[in-house]
Structure 1
């Protein structure tokens, strides 16, 4: 039973990793199939030379990262590649934030990419057993927490748009937009500060998974020919898996600290 409990965080990390791999690989397939980048998540200017070829190359890299992630032997390389790709997405948003520092929409773009990149980077460092894994995990969780706070702020700033995304059969959609915004912000504060971090990240992952099921899957079913709807679905899936990764790594760190306080010989690696 003790061994089973000790293995639980690792299994949860692998489940979260599978979600990230599925989301990233699917986004890559959309990029290759369309010859285009992922809308506002990859804001490559339209006048970039050979833009279509670059989009296909980027999509192929995302597919390669996804395949490596599900390969036992090459998983660490896949995690580093996924982290690098998602960090590149984040960098693409920097010019817009610099030009329009008061724009919440531009900050939301950088927050979504940074949240996914931080989760992939934490997993890569954990898998590699890097000496700096602890510092990378702490930094990644702080970044993810800040991103979640921005998710919450965007719900308040764009409450009507957020409400329009909520299924019509749910009552009080504007109130739900505010409620989920507050939940994002509170979870982000907890994750960034370390207060009830594991629980907050798990609840954030559950809420995001709810968005996938209640919001994005029905929209895809209603508009199966819309690349935008498919893109939103796979971004939401990757974000929810990223939150689950934060929860799993946080839980592993907490268990490691508890084990170390009892017996240094029983502490878990990479925590």
Structure 2
């Protein structure tokens, strides 16, 4: 399993390490992706501690002997990220941007659940076994499919902002905003309802990879003016946006990999059922 998911797992780990490093360097959390309330003293120390935790966990995910333990601790950590979005949802559920924020972190959480389902080694646990194996992978795909929909919808709700993020050298920037939004929603529905889910997850991964490099690529890290209006000047925001998009793309690739053996397993089940039926008829 480690060999099958190694590319996706490695990309996910790199994203964790990079985001953790940014938290340590800037002594702060990942902007609106980690909306930790302001408090003093101790907020900077907590940010550094969380950053170090992400770095250590990211490295541990790459090592065969520690991947099980790392998968067990990364999932509740990502769940905490997701829970940080709940207050905004309670206050302003009518704002699509709030659902966008939840969708992005839920996609990330789904990737963490795939890792947990495959590598935690808790299949025999009476409580956690429902989140491991095939059932855990299915839960992860449902969460991911649902989460992609508001992310794609945001392209349509905020089409001018989305179009402004499309590189200026590309034609039909508004058209790309609509196309990517509709494409993401289609991918989410495909994953959710198992309509070519593996292909849908790969397409979503490809789109996210393009977003990372075309929208938040290295040219934005050292730009004199921020790429997004209202965002702070300097490399920290585009670097954070780049690696957030990177790790969500890795989560999408993990979800795609979770469908790899779906058809063979189904075929084996069907063949076994046929064999059993035949045996029953001739018994």
Is the TM-score greater than 0.5? yes
The answer for the alignment partner of 1:119 in structure 2 is 111
Question: So what's the TM-score if we normalise by structure 1?
Answer: 0.89
CA distance in 2, matches of 1:251, 1:216: 30
The answer for the alignment partner of 2:44 in structure 1 is 52
CA distance in 2, matches of 1:197, 1:240: 15
Tell me, yes or no, if structure 1 residue 26 matches structure 2 residue 35: no
Alignment equivalent of 2:242, drawn from 233, 249, 267: 233
The answer for the alignment partner of 2:229 in structure 1 is none
- Counterpart secondary structure, 2:260: helix
Q: Could you tell me how far 1:39 is from its partner in structure 2?
A: 0.2
The answer for the alignment partner of 1:109 in structure 2 is 101
Q: Could you tell me how far 1:86 is from its partner in structure 2?
A: 1.3
CA distance in 2, matches of 1:32, 1:75: 23
- Counterpart secondary structure, 2:38: coil
| 2:213–2:242 Cα contact (<8 Å) kept | no
| 1:141–1:192 Cα contact (<8 Å) kept | yes
| 2:221–2:239 Cα contact (<8 Å) kept | no
Tell me, yes or no, if structure 1 residue 249 matches structure 2 residue 251: no
Task: Give unmatched runs, 5+ long, in structure 2.
Answer: 124-128, 225-233, 274-283
Higher helix share: 1
Alignment equivalent of 2:72, drawn from 69, 80, 89: 80
The answer for the alignment partner of 1:136 in structure 2 is 136
| 2:221–2:236 Cα contact (<8 Å) kept | no
| 2:222–2:235 Cα contact (<8 Å) kept | no
Q: Which structure: larger Rg?
A: 2
The answer for the alignment partner of 1:259 in structure 2 is 268
CA distance in 1, matches of 2:238, 2:267: 44
| 1:120–1:242 Cα contact (<8 Å) kept | yes
| 2:99–2:151 Cα contact (<8 Å) kept | no
Q: Could you tell me how far 1:65 is from its partner in structure 2?
A: 1.1
- Structure 2 CA distance for partners of 1:11 and 1:165, relative to 1, 3 Å: farther
Task: Give unmatched runs, 5+ long, in structure 1.
Answer: 1-8, 265-271
Q: Could you tell me how far 1:127 is from its partner in structure 2?
A: 1.5
CA distance in 1, matches of 2:141, 2:77: 19
- Counterpart secondary structure, 1:183: helix
Residues 125-168 of structure 1 show CA distances to partners (whole Å, capped at 9, x for unaligned) of: 11235243222211111110011101111101111111111110
Q: Could you tell me how far 1:49 is from its partner in structure 2?
A: 4.1
Q: Could you tell me how far 1:48 is from its partner in structure 2?
A: 5.2
Q: Could you tell me how far 1:222 is from its partner in structure 2?
A: 4.0
Question: So what's the TM-score if we normalise by structure 2?
Answer: 0.85
Root mean square deviation, CA, Å: 1.8
